[in-house]
Structure 1
């Protein structure tokens, strides 16, 4: 592997990065969205499943549609962000495995096991959502991931043509306005939530 990243890069991606709720009036370009994907897709998933399906709500109309399904406290975060991505997962991801994981017949591992596919899609799709956040931060953008929306309504509105796509969480992306941020919530020391055996 390469040498460790420097302190400045680690600060940008982790230590100084914050979840933001207010946004500067600055565009996120289509090219930047493509850059985020080009980085995020490189993160590992089981058998290269890549079950995440991303819907980038950039137009005012699409963000209004999305905000209509969000909790009241989240609507402003969606409407004022330059782009808001629905991080969803394809519960029939196994259909893509013949070309995504051609080394063996991985598709057969999941055929006839709908519940197993749901578990795997959720786990690996969530990983991909985390990679997306790290990729956006690495490219100098801020993120505002959120729950607090009606998943079934979002799925019906945005995925009517893909009934096996299910929303997981939403993430606003742009250039954050940090003036109103409250202090970072606690991050515990190693021994609180870790066991080293």
Structure 2
């Protein structure tokens, strides 16, 4: 005799993926306002910090060649205010920190150079080599040369001619090996550079 088997229904549960939205709390530290006077003086205000607590304000440019640190306190409304006069054109970051909270603002002063710097460093068999290239006409670039051990051997400002070319001579390749050359724009009141360009040459 055959026994009748009962049928069991198996329910399949659909799995639903839930997307979690990430939002910044309304009371998180943030920038309240940024004002300027004729591109010479900038005032940045940060808000939503704890009241009357120790704070640090830092100002740096993009190339790391200019930095200021200020120790202060938040006011009774939990705000921090910083006014600065940029020494030259460039991209600056103002960072406010207090009691574990941070807010920052990036400010561009002037216009970035739109021309890349090219470097052509000749290999040499003695201590002297010629380094040349192209850059924005009429600008000034800062060259740095590092020896095979990574020590900086020279720093030199080089003027770029009206046709966009530049050239200089390096006289300190005393050790054999590979020398690295870096170039950046020197900022003016109107223009700044944001990148470092590199090349190398061998001393046989």
Could you tell me the TM-score, scaled by structure 2's length? 0.23
Higher relative contact order (Cα pairs below 8 Å, separated by 6+ residues): 1
Could you tell me the TM-score, scaled by structure 1's length? 0.24
Question: Which has the larger share of helix?
Answer: 1
Q: Which structure has the larger Rg over C-alpha atoms?
A: 2
